[in-house]
A and B are shown apart, each in its own frame.
Chain A
């Protein structure tokens, strides 16, 4: 028994990603056709060259969501795992290739979240319940992390407001330089701090964008990678943890860390041989659904010592020009969050940056470190699922 990973067994050879945002004139079909076509074109393949597909969609259902618009008869596996849906499609496609079952696989994620007409993410429906379940919006759950962190580490309410605003400010700075992002505007600290409140102390700018979008990746066995491209990205570590959902019933849980993320990160680092993420990673894409989440993730993934990430935020460590750029594409905050596509969008930015395709105005400094991280989460503080993936430019 053991978690062995598939280090250097699988490579990403092509990717595509639509613009994220309010795409009133595009349905799921158009989004899927756009992202998959870009991925095919990036490596000179067609849909027929792909042996099997993994489709991530949280609100849609069934493999035909993909096979119908692509007009094909192929193995299509639909996966869903909360907001980790996109990275789950990727993880399972990679395992399929690593197993030898298929030569070429595609992972594609899509979400059309703007059609229901509600504020925030709201799918409605779902299985019947006994009525005792919590009915809060996600913002409120994450809002509880801010005062908890402040209390534990002696960060005043005013300082915390600045720290969280700084994270949103940074992600808007980055998103403004990304033509595919939902929000392409720099936003001032003042605007962020004085925005209408959504939950607790979190304002509108502390919450990720709600967007339609799709992203896709083509994966092959690592030894075949150079048949398709000169700049493949190899998988180094891959872990996914579904928590036991006891945080809200366990008095020892204090809302200042996410154990599912720590555990997924630890295992992925071990597979990848990463011992000091802060100096070894060139960049990270993390799941900044709400600003307090990004703050806690820095510590859960070892980018900063416990209780110190807030200072690093203010020092600019995670800025585009910082020591370890986090969310150089703007993150969920400004790129937007089409649930099933987000995990793949994070791989997409790693692919652009590490293979030298990122546009100059948002190119990271330390691409030569050759390693990037994807962190994707779903659920809430205390009841979370989390994915961590590490990719690299060199096959070990």
Chain B
């Protein structure tokens, strides 16, 4: 049997209350909140976080390849999936490929992997931006999802793939040139007339392949680049209203490339055995995947659900949001910006830098950072710790000052001095518990500097 072995999503900590947009500009905004990636996150770091969670609940299955899809890549030319590969410490023989550019690449990467008999990890991630006050800004959200697919030779299949169909057509509806921050859209009616038949055809063909009718569907996910077409198409598919999956519009927002996998994950996290899930995504055509959950889903325990991550969040002001997204520049400390890192020096410590892998000497003492002389590697990115002492640095350069910095006593007996993130600095105290998170410390000469920070525990 082939299908899904594990799944997880990553929803960043910060939330923008959409009402703030209208308060600021007298226009735009809307109801509810959208998820906002912090200034030290990009689609790669969010992908790492989702992937770590997915593998934690994968019953020991290790992917033999990663597909990473995003419409907002941290690098072009250079593969981004290799950073995720390094953070997960996958085998050297495991491949890492980017599927980039189009929003449709998220669903495309999943479709490409779904029949695989070897375990493959499909990571989709997106940062959604738009001109201040635009619908794209307000309706968008940041997040990532990771789906581990494979056969039950490796780990129990929790959802079997039972149908797939797609339609494709070239037309101009939603686009962005490379390097641009904002997307543009054609007037909505044109796209709607295109998407309605594309979506219906793909949905019906997938149902037919699965030998099901619309009434057999327990969870219907409809998402895509065209909100009006999604709204118009959903009631036409013949599925009861209560079976339509919450698109998380009011809590997360539309996470673009990641959204089909993110919503699929949200269903799997609470699904019971024998339930039929249809994922229909509209993006330059339509893709429809149909799954049926298995008995194994009863024993599957998500490492950290989307609901938990929606609960464990904190508010970001609209001003901070605009500065993080570089729509406005704010004055920082008059300190030198970090210079670029050395590729050669970073290449000598890949396991430490990307995987937070310490070392152990013959006497059993763990060294973090690792000592060259030690033979044994000690992966510790999942080790938690306690804040021994901390301080707030108002002088050091940061893209979003001030820096909160803590000396953390890790549960494996080591100590690490780490920058803290995703917190209200006024509420932090000695003795607080923290976990590690993969972040972008900065960018110099167009080279991103990835390493680990600590954040308050976000709950199971």
Question: C-beta contact mask, A99-120 vs B, less than 8 Å → 1, else 0?
Answer: 0000000000000000011111
Flag if A129 contacts B345 (CB, 8 Å): yes
Q: How far is the CB of A25 from chain B (nearest CB, A)?
A: 22
A-B interface contact total, Cβ < 8 Å: 112
Flag if A199 contacts B393 (CB, 8 Å): yes
Main secondary structure of the interface of A (DSSP, over half): loop
A13 to B368 alpha-carbon distance, docked (Å): 49
Flag if B369 contacts A199 (CB, 8 Å): no
A248 to B392 alpha-carbon distance, docked (Å): 16
Of the 9-residue stretches A41-49, A71-79, A87-95, A133-141, which lies at the interface with chain B?
A133-141
A148 to B391 alpha-carbon distance, docked (Å): 11
Residue of B nearest to A126 (CB): B339
B423 adjacent to chain A (CB < 8 Å): no
A169 to B383 alpha-carbon distance, docked (Å): 45
Q: How far is the CB of B373 from chain A (nearest CB, A)?
A: 14
Q: Within A137-154, which residues are at the interface with B (CB < 8 Å)?
A: 137, 139-141, 143-144, 147-148, 151
Q: Within B378-426, which residues are at the interface with A (CB < 8 Å)?
A: 388-397, 403, 405, 407, 409, 413-417
Flag if B336 contacts A251 (CB, 8 Å): no
Q: How far is the CB of A262 from chain B (nearest CB, A)?
A: 20
Pick from A118, A120, A134, A249 the residue with the most CB of B within 10 Å: A249
Residues of B close to A137: CB separation below 8 A: 335, 393, 395-396
A25 to B267 alpha-carbon distance, docked (Å): 70
Residues of A close to B450: CB separation below 8 A: 131
Flag if A251 contacts B413 (CB, 8 Å): yes
A69 adjacent to chain B (CB < 8 Å): no
Flag if B342 contacts A129 (CB, 8 Å): yes
Residues of B close to A122: CB separation below 8 A: 335-336
Q: How far is the CB of B378 from chain A (nearest CB, A)?
A: 13
Q: How far is the CB of B364 from chain A (nearest CB, A)?
A: 15
Flag if B392 contacts A199 (CB, 8 Å): yes
Flag if A135 contacts B396 (CB, 8 Å): yes
A143 to B406 alpha-carbon distance, docked (Å): 11
Flag if A119 contacts B345 (CB, 8 Å): no
Residue of A nearest to B385 (CB): A251
Q: How far is the CB of B330 from chain A (nearest CB, A)?
A: 16
Interface size class, chain B? 35 or more
Question: C-beta contact mask, A222-241 vs B, less than 8 Å → 1, else 0?
Answer: 00000000000000000000
Q: Given the interface contacts A120-B335, A125-B339, A140-B403, does A131 sit within 8 Å of B353 by beta carbon?
A: yes
Q: Given the interface contacts A136-B393, A137-B395, A140-B403, does A249 sit within 8 Å of B335 by beta carbon?
A: no
A158 adjacent to chain B (CB < 8 Å): no
A198 adjacent to chain B (CB < 8 Å): yes
A327 to B334 alpha-carbon distance, docked (Å): 30
Flag if B395 contacts A198 (CB, 8 Å): yes
Flag if A148 contacts B451 (CB, 8 Å): no
Flag if B349 contacts A130 (CB, 8 Å): yes
Residues of B close to A2: CB separation below 8 A: none
Q: Given the interface contacts A119-B395, A249-B416, A251-B415, does A132 sit within 8 Å of B369 by beta carbon?
A: yes
B164 adjacent to chain A (CB < 8 Å): no
Q: Given the interface contacts A119-B334, A140-B403, A248-B417, does A130 sit within 8 Å of B346 by beta carbon?
A: yes
A154 to B53 alpha-carbon distance, docked (Å): 43
Q: Given the interface contacts A128-B341, A143-B391, A148-B389, does A118 sit within 8 Å of B336 by beta carbon?
A: yes
Q: Given the interface contacts A119-B334, A199-B395, does A130 sit within 8 Å of B417 by beta carbon?
A: no
Residues of B close to A258: CB separation below 8 A: none
A197 adjacent to chain B (CB < 8 Å): yes
A119 to B416 alpha-carbon distance, docked (Å): 27
A129 to B407 alpha-carbon distance, docked (Å): 21
Pick from B334, B349, B397, B405 the residue with the most CB of A within 10 Å: B405
Q: Which of A124, A130, A249 contacts B415 (CB 8 A)?
A: A249
Residues of B close to A120: CB separation below 8 A: 335, 395
Residues of B close to A134: CB separation below 8 A: 405, 417
Residues of A close to B392: CB separation below 8 A: 140, 197, 199-200
Residues of A close to B416: CB separation below 8 A: 248-249
A361 adjacent to chain B (CB < 8 Å): no
Residues of B close to A119: CB separation below 8 A: 333-335, 395
A255 adjacent to chain B (CB < 8 Å): yes
Question: C-beta contact mask, B318-351 vs A, less than 8 Å → 1, else 0?
Answer: 0000000000000001111011011011101100
Residue of B nearest to A201 (CB): B391
A250 to B403 alpha-carbon distance, docked (Å): 22
Residues of A close to B415: CB separation below 8 A: 248-251, 253
Residues of B close to A117: CB separation below 8 A: 334
A96 to B409 alpha-carbon distance, docked (Å): 45
Residues of B close to A255: CB separation below 8 A: 389, 407
Q: Which of B341, B345, B391 contacts A199 (CB 8 A)?
A: B391
Q: Given the interface contacts A124-B339, A135-B338, A248-B415, does A198 sit within 8 Å of B394 by beta carbon?
A: yes
Q: How far is the CB of B31 from chain A (nearest CB, A)?
A: 38
Q: How far is the CB of A167 from chain B (nearest CB, A)?
A: 19
A248 to B395 alpha-carbon distance, docked (Å): 20
Flag if B345 contacts A144 (CB, 8 Å): no
Q: How far is the CB of A206 from chain B (nearest CB, A)?
A: 12
A128 to B341 alpha-carbon distance, docked (Å): 6
Pick from B335, B352, B367 the residue with the most CB of A within 10 Å: B335
Residues of A close to B338: CB separation below 8 A: 135
Q: How far is the CB of A147 from chain B (nearest CB, A)?
A: 6
Residues of A close to B403: CB separation below 8 A: 135-136, 140
Pick from B339, B393, B442 the residue with the most CB of A within 10 Å: B393
Residue of A nearest to B348 (CB): A130
Q: How far is the CB of A392 from chain B (nearest CB, A)?
A: 40
Flag if A249 contacts B367 (CB, 8 Å): yes
Residue of B nearest to A143 (CB): B391
Flag if A200 contacts B367 (CB, 8 Å): no
B239 adjacent to chain A (CB < 8 Å): no
B117 adjacent to chain A (CB < 8 Å): no
Flag if A140 contacts B389 (CB, 8 Å): no
Residues of B close to A197: CB separation below 8 A: 392, 394
A198 to B405 alpha-carbon distance, docked (Å): 14
Residue of B nearest to A197 (CB): B394
Q: A129-B342, A197-B392 are in contact. List 10 more A-B contacts (CB 8 A).
A: A119-B335, A135-B442, A136-B403, A147-B389, A147-B430, A200-B391, A248-B415, A249-B367, A249-B415, A251-B388
What would 28 A/B residue contacts be, using CB atoms closer than 8 Å?
A117-B334, A119-B335, A120-B395, A122-B336, A129-B345, A130-B341, A130-B345, A130-B348, A130-B349, A131-B341, A131-B441, A131-B450, A132-B369, A135-B396, A137-B395, A137-B396, A140-B393, A140-B396, A140-B405, A144-B390, A148-B389, A197-B392, A197-B394, A199-B393, A248-B407, A248-B417, A249-B367, A250-B415
